[in-house]
A = this chain, B = another copy of it.
Amino acid sequence: MHFTSEQRLDNGVLEREFTLGEIPGILWTPASASAPAPLILLGPPPLGLRKAYPRLAARARHVAADGFATATIELPGSGDRPRLPASEQARADLRRAVAAGEPVADEIIDAFILPLVDKAVPEWQAVLDALLSLPEIGGPVGYSGGVISIGTRLAVVEPRISAAVLFAGSFVPRAMFEEARQVTIPLHVLLQWDDEGNDRQAALDLFDAFGSKEKTLHANMGGHTGVPQFAGDAAGQFFTRHLK
């Protein structure tokens, strides 16, 4: 893991960009950490870190006040990373269907999401290895964010993640429902009730499928990017309850 830049934000949080092999990312650590900090992996949306930066950095600064370190990565195929040929065509097909108000075929969803999950999950695990080797990062580890199928797979295969906030804001391949049944860690699922780029019933079905004994669904009004501030606060309280 190579740090490529470093700056102090106005509230003292240290923001460092890094690369791990071909994976770029950002690490935020609290201003003053007396002990190794618990860590939240911030799963980014697939629109590129540059566009997502303001929201991710705001989230990182917010939870740093509660003592959490946070890290995010550029997803495979996003930002300046090479496109994933397998999912590029499907992404375009999906956008076309949504824009036309048509139902999105299962094949399109599978072709868009599954290659991304297959590539992103081992990358997150490699980044987690590197992060946990830093003296300022301890544990436990939570995952928060983005593409819900990536969070679901991570929750199944990565035992170091002990709680997750998932955002039901992306289409869900049929195969993920089976994986969801294998999830056992505490979950906090956010759903935007009128999310234009999401299938509400599929999100409710996925929530139902998760095997976790503790799982909570917070549904709020508004579109994909309209998650209210109080819903972010509630997600933060979930992590404080489980990671501290």
Residues of chain B lying within 8 A (CB to CB) of residue A230? 216, 237-238, 241
- A219 and B217 form a contact (CB under 8 A): yes
Chain B nearest CB, measured from A213 CB (Å): 6
Q: Does A231 contact B (CB under 8 A)?
A: yes
1/0 per residue, CB under 8 A from B, across A208-225: the answer is 100011111111110000
Interface size on A, residues (CB 8 A): 21
Q: Does A124 contact B (CB under 8 A)?
A: no
- B213 and A216 form a contact (CB under 8 A): no
A interface residues (Cβ-Cβ under 8 A, vs B)? 193, 204, 207-208, 212-221, 228, 230-231, 234, 237-238, 241
- B218 and A217 form a contact (CB under 8 A): yes
- B216 and A231 form a contact (CB under 8 A): yes
- B216 and A216 form a contact (CB under 8 A): no
Chain B nearest CB, measured from A220 CB (Å): 5
